[in-house]
Amino acid sequence: MSGWKHRSQRLIRILLLRDRYLMTKLLVFSALLVVLPMLLVGLVSYRESSNVLEEEARDYSLQLIDQVQLYVEDYLRDFEINALKIINHPDTIQFLSIESPEQLEESDLVYRIRNVLKNSAYSRSDVVNITIILDDIQVIDSADVADRQSVLGLRDEYWYNTIPSSGEPKIISRLIMKDQDEQPVISIFKRIVNPQTLKPFGMLIIDVNYKRLQDVAYKVQPGETGYLFMLDEQGYYVYHPDYKKIGQKGNEDDVQAMQEKTSGSIISAIQPHSLLTFSRSSILKWQLVTSIPYDELMRGTEYIGKTILFTTIIFMIIAYLMVIGFAASLVKPIKQLHEYIKRVEIGDFSGKVTVNSKDEIGMLSHGFNKMVDRLSRLLEEIYFSKLKAAELGLRQKDTELKMLQAQINPHFLYNSLETIRGMALESDMDEISVMAASLARLLRYNIKEESSQMTVRQEVEIGEIYLRIQKFRFEEKLIYSFDIPEWAMEQNIVKFTLQPLIENCIVHGLEQSAGVTMITISASRSVLPNTFEIRIADTGPGIEESKMSGLIYKLEHDEEIELTSQHIGIMNVHRRIRFIFGESYGLFIESQSGSGTTVGIRLPLLPTLEERRKLNV
């Protein structure tokens, strides 16, 4: 529950721009006050204008479609009358009564029927060909070009089985070969029915010049680039400006949507979108469709959009000018107050904020001046009290140090160790002599050396002395090695760094392990620029993962780490390195339980003596 509350508060804080500058808030909110209403008005206007343009285009297209539909229906109805005249002609009736090819050979009916068809074709200039088929007996046409095989091929067309058996005409568009070239025609198919059996036994085909339908369609111009096309009841093109599409099926989604209603309009599913207005002919069973590109239809709304955009920009400029003028009188004294606050943050209490008004900002500035004045007096009092306390603390530390020095005289220790060394040499006890000399060297380094920085070479010598002393204690259980390049020996390191870290390897690696422990001290250049690293690694038991993550966290956050109460802690070394060289340097730890521990020292890389000589040259 508290997490949800925190997230909701954070969201409100972002939406209200609580963490933004006052000038930003004024500009954003003023823009919202102007832009949002303008966009809302523009959106409503745009939608309404789009609906009006669509409605007008739809009504206009339906009027065009109705005119074309009436013309096409009347035009094709005339051919139905011609078809009846041909079928009811005496010669045609006699031809239809033929029952075998042999009867045709004995008469001149083929010649007379062809004359009937030619006379009917010549009576209309738009008739291309008239064909009459007597099933399984004879095929005759007015142009004398049809053969039985080509006519029988019509049975493979998708529309052939849709020709009514009742004798009602079927009108389709198709491509025929004429003069070795494809030519579009409108064909009226009418089955001839036997009056005795009422079964179809022939067919009459009238092919009409496609150009008449094309001329009518070209006169219909919906929009600048729109056009009209026609689909049959199965969704195939019977007319299209591109006659190559005749006989092909239209887009299934568009066809399905148009077949659900007798008239209306839809947006085409084909890209780019078009407005399709359609109406179905109850006589022809065709869908007459006008197509207008939607971009062209919506072109009139561009003016509205540009007007809204121009108006919005003008109002934005006016609003911003007013906001800038208002903000100048509001933000300027706040910025002045903020500058004085930053000066106070760094301890500068001089000067006062100029108060030019008696409004809330003026009252705030006046109160700030009084607060700074009082704070300055309080800090002076605290400073002097802290100074006295620090002085007393230093005197106390100095006293304690002198008391400690009085308890242990270094010269007494050195002389005692030299005496032990001499006695060991007289008794041929070389190991005791070496150990006493090493211990004396270690004490002199820790007590007499006053500089906070030493060379790596000096620290390595002290570390080796310390390991030599521990070797007398642990013998074969302790193995150590140094891998320090010569360039690293010249680098600087904080005094008393290696020996405490080596001591931690002894305490937590060697003493905790029953077997042999290897301690390796190595140096290498770091991947970080101008940095090198010294690594002290042991083969001891390592550190558990849970403890390891805690050690890394404390090192990164500068928290106290004491590995034992008897030994100098890692944090002591880490803090001294950071204090002398900076926050980018210090210690890092790498360890896994059972795989040993590595403590690394990250230090600044200085130019070597040879590199400095080259630079001087």
DSSP 155-182: GGSTTGGGS-TTS--EEEEEEEEETTEE
pLDDT band at 297 (very low <50, low <70, confident <90, very high): confident
User: Per-residue pLDDT for 409 more than 90?
Assistant: no
Q: What's the confidence (pLDDT) of residue 566?
A: 37
Q: What's the confidence (pLDDT) of residue 567?
A: 38
Q: How far apart are CA 211 and CA 47, in angstroms?
A: 41
Q: How far apart are the first and last CA of the chain?
A: 71
CA torsion, ordered 234, 238, 244, 245, to nearest 10 deg = -40
pLDDT band at 20 (very low <50, low <70, confident <90, very high): low
Q: What's the confidence (pLDDT) of residue 311?
A: 76
* Residue 395 neighbours by CB under 8 Å, 6+ apart: none
Determine contact, residues 190/203, Cβ cutoff 8 Å.
Answer: yes
Q: What's the confidence (pLDDT) of residue 563?
A: 42
Residue entry with tokens 């400029």: 317
> Cα angle vertex 474, ends 469, 480, to 5°?
70
CA torsion, ordered 590, 596, 599, 605, to nearest 10 deg = -80
Q: Of 466, 454, 535, 533, which is closest to residue 494 (Cα–Cα)?
A: 454
pTM across the whole model: 0.44
Q: Which of 163-167, 317-321, 441-445, 464-468 has the highest mean pLDDT?
A: 464-468
Q: How far apart are CA 112 and CA 115, in angstroms?
A: 5
Sheet with 274-280, edge to edge strand ranges: 237-239, 227-231, 287-293, 274-280, 263-267
Q: What's the confidence (pLDDT) of residue 537?
A: 93
DSSP annotation string for 242-267: SGGGTTSB--HHHHHHHHTSSEEEEE
The neighbouring-strand residues paired with 591 are: 597
Average pLDDT estimate for 546-571 = 64
Q: How far apart are CA 51 and CA 45, in angstroms?
A: 10
Q: What's the confidence (pLDDT) of residue 561?
A: 47
Instruction: List, for residues 328-383, the tens digit of each pLDDT value.
Output: 666 677 777 777 777 777 767 676 777 776 666 677 777 777 777 777 777 777 76
Q: Which of 22-31, 104-113, 523-532, 568-577 has the highest mean pLDDT?
A: 523-532
Q: Identity (one letter) of the amino acid at 178?
A: K
Average pLDDT estimate for 552-569 = 57
Q: At 192, phi and psi to the nearest 5?
A: -95, 125
Instruction: List, for residues 199-249, the tens digit of each pLDDT value.
Output: 777 788 888 877 777 777 777 777 777 888 888 888 888 888 887 788 788
Average pLDDT estimate for 99-119 = 74
User: Per-residue pLDDT for 512 more than 70?
Assistant: yes
Average pLDDT estimate for 176-201 = 74
Label each residue of 20-51 as H, E or C.
CCHHHHHHHHHHHHHHHHHHHHHHHHHHHHHH
Q: Of 599, 601, 573, which is closest to residue 496 (Cα–Cα)?
A: 573
Sign of the alpha-carbon dihedral angle for 562, 568, 574, 578: positive
User: Per-residue pLDDT for 455 more than 50?
Assistant: yes
pLDDT band at 300 (very low <50, low <70, confident <90, very high): low
Tokens of 48: 């309404």
Q: What's the confidence (pLDDT) of residue 492?
A: 92
Q: E-strand spans in 326-379? A: none
- Rounded mean pLDDT of the chain? 76
Which of residues 484 and 196 earns the better pLDDT score? Answer: 484
Q: How far apart are CA 332 and CA 21, in angstroms?
A: 12
Range name among 27-31, 172-176, 265-269 with the lowest pLDDT average: 27-31
User: Per-residue pLDDT for 15 more than 50?
Assistant: yes
Q: What's the confidence (pLDDT) of residue 521?
A: 95
Residues counted in the chain: 617
Q: Of 128, 158, 119, 138, which is closest to residue 246 (Cα–Cα)?
A: 158
Average pLDDT estimate for 90-118 = 74
Q: At 326, phi and psi to the nearest 5?
A: -70, -40
Q: What's the confidence (pLDDT) of residue 283?
A: 77
